[in-house]
């Protein structure tokens, strides 16, 4: 431990040489050792009634500057944090100073190198030696990301970009260069029973200097308050200037620490995006709602989870989309300023009701509420625009999403999908390969690359890439594409075998009927293919949204039955 001989502030980061407040050289030993009357923790903190909390679709709690806003779905994800009760009694004047930083939007110019207007919060390192604590380390980072991203003049790298550094030795300056930010925050968390140790460090990556470092000793019951405290201190250390109170920044989404932790577990599971993790996410969000029936972020998370069920083969649309709608409407009833429920409603209207107008209205409302919400631009381009052949608008929307979240493999892949469906094959290949250079095992990129190579007549490459997609994902939809490729390549026996497997599996689990239709079409059985496509429409399957542009269906475009299907789906011919 070190101390400042002038202001008597304690520092737990032994790498710091000078006081962050007055610049004096630090000495070994705690400030309190000399009998001073300084608080045990030097961090300026906001009383819980004034601190904001977590926010939507990802980590909730306080203020809209909160910290966790990923798509709250039935899957799991992340969250975390707590707070030292002694700080609750800090003088009100001190709290006002912190709020001046916490609510500010205009950045002041630091002594060296211009204003800091961007930050990346890296996943916290879990030092607990226990995988069950991962939701705490991931959740705290995600919550901070969500909270800070509510400040309109601060660029915050989204969760999907920073979590690629999870478990890696990441140099802050390298990270800053890759993400295009001025500052990087790193942290460590250790859980021992009910005790938490949280260490945080904020670095100005332009000059390599530490702006702030602190260590917190807390109880699990103080996690929610600690998350608010850290966010408030970060905004202060970034030297934000008060510019009028923003209502969302003072909002608390829950005061129930158990509900907050369950929401974090839900976000953690949701981010993993597997069948089992999405099921777990839904259960965690439901448990959070049981602990706090007015927890809007938990309802938002549940809505986002159910909205993904059919796309990840967890359940049929009929068994999940109505629940997504109900959870989203309840979230908005509790808090109509949240963006995530509108994104979930877009999925409901687009994929389930085939109401393209209502879907576009909802997703544009999400963007209006949160202009830096990368997922909203992503879904606008991928769900609404390109399925209706508005390709140029879709590319622009996906590029904006990619600009906000440059390392997201799913955004990058879906941009490739737009280029593929627009028949811009060479551009699509470049895009998919870029994604795979960032994540060599990202399954969806192999699917898109395989279909693109098929369209270019590169059949062996296409078959190999589709096999890789199936190997990585286990996707039944991928088996449909592979069967289509094999049948058209003269390998009918294997195609027929795949067809039988899919039909048998459909009696036991959810299998997209579109996949079955692909193989029939590859085998030259058009009427059977049309029958299965109609079954998909009757089941409100999510893949129907893309029938107007799917290359696999090009042989059906002159068929009267298929034209009637497109009309029923409110899609252009």
pLDDT tens by residue, 96-124: 333 333 333 333 344 445 677 888 998 88
Instruction: Label residue 285 by pLDDT band (50, 70, 90).
Output: very high
C-beta of residue 385 within 8 angstroms of C-beta of residue 395: no
What's the average model confidence in pLDDT over 302-321? 89
With 90 as the cut, is the pLDDT of residue 358 above it? Answer: yes
Residue 199's pLDDT is what?
86
Q: 3-state SS string over 419-435?
A: HHHCCCHHHHHHHHHHH
> What is the distance between the alpha carbons of residues 80 and 135, in angstroms, rounded to a whole number?
7
Handedness of CA 300, 301, 306, 311 (dihedral sign): positive
Q: What is the CATH number of the domain that holds 233?
A: 3.40.50.10610
DSSP state of 388: G
Least confident residue range of 250-259, 344-353, 418-427, 526-535: 250-259
Number of domains in the chain: 2
In the block, tokens 């997209």 appear at 512
Residue 302's pLDDT is what?
96
503: in domain? no
Per-residue pLDDT tens digits for 337-356: 999 999 999 999 999 999 99
- Indicate whether 221 and 167 sit together in one domain: yes
- Indicate whether 80 and 186 sit together in one domain: yes
222 vs 184, more confident: 184
Kindly report the pTM of this predicted structure. 0.69
Average pLDDT, the chain: 79
533: in domain? no
Per-residue pLDDT tens digits for 507-562: 888 889 999 999 999 999 999 999 999 999 999 998 999 999 999 999 999 999 99
- Indicate whether 130 and 228 sit together in one domain: yes
DSSP E strands in 113-194: the ranges are 118-121, 125-126, 155-156, 183-192
Instruction: Label residue 62 by pLDDT band (50, 70, 90).
Output: very low
Instruction: Look at phi and psi of residue 373 and say left if phi exceeds 0, alpha if psi is from -120 to 50, else beta.
Output: beta
> What is the distance between the alpha carbons of residues 101 and 108, in angstroms, rounded to a whole number?
10
Instruction: Label residue 57 by pLDDT band (50, 70, 90).
Output: very low
Residue 158's pLDDT is what?
83
- Indicate whether 33 and 169 sit together in one domain: no
In the block, tokens 């049948």 appear at 487
292: in domain? no
Closest CA to 384 of 371, 365, 397: 397
- Indicate whether 230 and 84 sit together in one domain: yes
- Indicate whether 105 and 191 sit together in one domain: yes
With 60 as the cut, is the pLDDT of residue 377 above it? Answer: yes
123: in domain? yes
- Indicate whether 17 and 112 sit together in one domain: no
142: in domain? yes
At which of 232, 250, 268 does a domain end? Answer: 250
> What is the distance between the alpha carbons of residues 123 and 112, in angstroms, rounded to a whole number?
27
Per-residue pLDDT tens digits for 149-198: 777 677 888 887 887 888 787 888 888 988 888 899 898 888 888 888 88
Residue 251's pLDDT is what?
61
Distance of CA 239 to the CA centre of its chain: 27
172: in domain? yes
- Indicate whether 4 and 115 sit together in one domain: no
User: In 10 A of CB 356, how many CB atoms?
Assistant: 19
DSSP state of 499: H
99: in domain? yes
144 vs 19, more confident: 144
408: in domain? no
What proportion of the chain, given as a percentage, has pLDDT over 70?
76
- Indicate whether 125 and 238 sit together in one domain: yes
Q: For residue 428, give both structure tokens.
A: 């699509």
- Indicate whether 82 and 142 sit together in one domain: yes
- Indicate whether 29 and 172 sit together in one domain: no
Range of the domain at 131: 76-250
- Indicate whether 33 and 80 sit together in one domain: no
């Amino acid at each position: 431990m070190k101390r400042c001989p002038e202001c008597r502030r304690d520092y737990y980061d032994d790498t710091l040489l000078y006081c962050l407040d007055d610049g004096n050289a630090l000495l070994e030993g705690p400030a309190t050792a000399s009998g001073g009357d300084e608080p045990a923790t030097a961090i300026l903190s906001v009383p819980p009634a004034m601190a904001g909390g977590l926010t939507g679709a990802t980590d909730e709690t306080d203020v809209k500057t909160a910290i966790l806003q990923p798509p709250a779905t039935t899957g799991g994800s992340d969250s975390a944090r707590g707070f030292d009760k002694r700080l609750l009694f800090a003088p009100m004047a001190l709290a006002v100073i912190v709020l001046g930083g916490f609510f500010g939007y205009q950045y002041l110019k630091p002594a060296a190198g211009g204003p800091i207007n961007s930050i990346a919060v890296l996943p916290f390192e879990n030092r607990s030696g226990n995988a069950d604590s991962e939701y705490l380390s991931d959740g705290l980072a995600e919550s901070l990301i969500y909270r800070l991203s509510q400040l309109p003049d601060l660029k915050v790298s989204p969760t999907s970009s920073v979590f690629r550094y999870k478990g890696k030795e990441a140099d802050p300056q390298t990270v800053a260069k890759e993400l295009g930010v001025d500052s990087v925050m790193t942290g460590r968390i250790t859980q021992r029973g009910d005790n938490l140790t949280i260490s945080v460090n904020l670095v100005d990556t332009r000059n390599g200097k530490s702006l702030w470092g602190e260590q917190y000793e807390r109880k699990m019951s103080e996690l929610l308050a600690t998350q608010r405290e850290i966010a408030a201190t970060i905004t202060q250390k970034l030297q934000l200037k008060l510019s009028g109170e923003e209502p969302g920044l003072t909002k608390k989404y829950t005061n129930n620490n158990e509900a907050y932790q369950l929401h974090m577990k839900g976000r953690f599971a949701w981010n993993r995006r597997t069948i089992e993790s999405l099921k777990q996410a839904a259960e965690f969000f439901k448990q959070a709602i049981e602990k706090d029936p007015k927890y809007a972020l938990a309802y938002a998370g549940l809505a986002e989870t159910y909205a993904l069920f059919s796309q990840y083969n967890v359940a049929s649309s009929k068994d999940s989309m109505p629940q997504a709608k109900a959870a989203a409407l309840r979230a908005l009833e509790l808090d109509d300023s949240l963006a995530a429920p509108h994104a979930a409603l877009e999925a409901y209207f687009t994929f389930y009701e085939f109401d393209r107008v209502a879907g576009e209205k909802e997703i544009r409302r999400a963007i209006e509420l949160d202009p830096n919400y990368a997922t909203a631009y992503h879904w606008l381009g991928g769900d609404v625009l390109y399925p209706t052949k508005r390709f140029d608008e879709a590319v622009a929307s996906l590029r904006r999403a990619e600009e906000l979240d440059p390392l997201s493999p799913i955004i990058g892949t879906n941009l490739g999908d737009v280029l593929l469906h627009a028949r811009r094959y060479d551009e699509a290949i470049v895009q998919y390969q870029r994604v795979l250079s960032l994540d060599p095992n990202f399954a969806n990129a192999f699917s898109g690359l395989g279909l693109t190579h098929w369209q270019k007549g590169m059949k062996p490459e296409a078959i190999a890439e589709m096999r890789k997609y199936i190997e990585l994902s286990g996707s039944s939809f991928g088996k449909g594409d592979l069967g289509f490729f094999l049948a058209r390549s003269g390998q009918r026996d294997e195609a027929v075998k795949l067809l039988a497997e899919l039909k048998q599996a459909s009696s036991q689990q959810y299998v997209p009927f579109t996949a079955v239709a692909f193989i029939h079409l590859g085998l030259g059985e058009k009427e059977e293919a049309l029958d299965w496509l109609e079954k998909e429409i009757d089941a409100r399957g999510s893949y129907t949204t893309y029938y107007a542009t799917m290359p696999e269906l090009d042989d059906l475009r002159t068929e009267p039955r298929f034209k009637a299907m497109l009309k029923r789906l409110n899609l252009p011919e």
